[in-house]
Structure 1
């Protein structure tokens, strides 16, 4: 079997990360349409969206071990298929019950693909000595950005039930071709054929790194909240309709990409630990101040409020850009387990915490307003400095 050059392998991984973001985020900018089709309130929709965490939890708990058992290639192939299939259902259904089950499968497929592709990224990083995880995460964000632009352009032109299925099926074909091309370098199945991963073994082998898990969720929950609520917030709270309502999310994602691709230029001048402290304070403060001003001082001037939100979201994206990948790199450095297992273990804690926080945000928004609900991720970012000592191992 031919061996890929390191450059070609990295290029294929870059494309896979890009397509991963392009596909799974394709429906997010059109959440207002999804919510309307399901006839749900903010609280109901937020709760239903959070059910994807159930599938993610199962997947994160087991897929790292499954990768060790059967290898990365098979997991990526199966996950790619289910991502396309479930997104097709989610973008077409009017039934909350069908949405519930499809969203659980969607969450499981996301986590399976996430674990596998990141395990391969860490494998490449370890083999070559090149720090590429933050860059690869940036390409995921680039895919999310492109799909946000596309959705914003298509929102009044092509129905959701045509846009998403056509896109994800095209992505599926490309992903399967790339996975096949990467086969020579993909992590192989564990050579010990007597190794069996039973539920008891998974539970006994589970490890919980508290400083990493709490630091990670505080660092990245704003990204989750922006994915779920940014477009709805802009439309319902600020009063901006049509394709322009996706602009704050696009700007947030754009600055996040910029940060992930450029953070390494700062590292010779400042330690990663101290940079994370400054960046999290910048991100949290910018987000909270912009949301507060937009809904209080500028509540009667939607255009100026929209401008303030765009600026605040831009700084929040820039400041939080590298925090998540950095905490994941620290988790891998601090653990004795293979990267696929580490990603799964950290992901289990992360998804449980995210599930709880998503419900809190959703029902806070329902009981008060979405503006109040979105203060939560901003406050969490301000707590990141308490966990940055974990980054000394990076």
Structure 2
């Protein structure tokens, strides 16, 4: 069962919101509603988030991503649709029941730290536990453990104004982790930080996920951040989800010109993986004279063998030193595909076109079932980048 499900969510602000939803379902757009004094912030949003997955919602300001996030934990009531958390319909709960779920099962990390200046670092990290009524000794212990996880051991008795911006955000993350919530909602949590600290916080989150395997919904306006962190990504525009998929899906087969415009400046060499672009050996070599007779021959001829989750930046050197394709193998060393030099150059050199019925974008060869999935490959690859 999915940890989190959003089913046909709408959020409309203004007069007669129910009527506005009906108009949207009938094909009206945002501008038509705005002319009548109504704002459609989120329109028919549906997705699922699996346990342990980092799900990123990406879009520009005004796209509806933060409004969507606030519907996921009941801070905003949907105009239509529902949110299921571990099978429980959050939109059907009473205010008291919803507060209990929010205090025990869902934590939120904000963009602007939201620390109490008159409380110590330890007290800030323990705040969620205090709300739950956890005894002082236990909450101090759990808060100290959470601070250690985010690299702030030894700072427990400091005050927030003694910390840098990055350290303050770590306290906010520790506060969310201390409650041991099943779901973390992170709203532009790193966007107020300078680039170096922001990347450091991304590294921190990636490493924590390897150990804690939390279910995370992460909001950002930065596609590079989305691709670095997300197992799956939803791209929003004007209140709607316009594409939903892995980083490779969005980079290689953008749904439309809007999505394609975001991918132009992405460093493909650190996002795409060998598993995402590999070809079947018969496709690469053909079946005529001179083609390898068996996988062992392919492996013997290959200048290198890499795992499916290897970022394609690792293929540059072997592809430059040999005409033979690089071999892609699974954990057991079994050949699952190859990456010819021509395929690598094509992926790096040619801008991908949006996928339409009349102009389908090229898709990477599917990985055999024994290979790492693209989502897993992306997460592992960017963690090392």
Q: TM-score range by the shorter chain?
A: under 0.3
- Write 1 or 2 for the structure with the bigger share of helix: 1
- Higher strand content, 1 or 2: 2
TM-score by length of 2: 0.24
Task: Name which one, 1 or 2, has greater alpha-carbon Rg.
Answer: 2
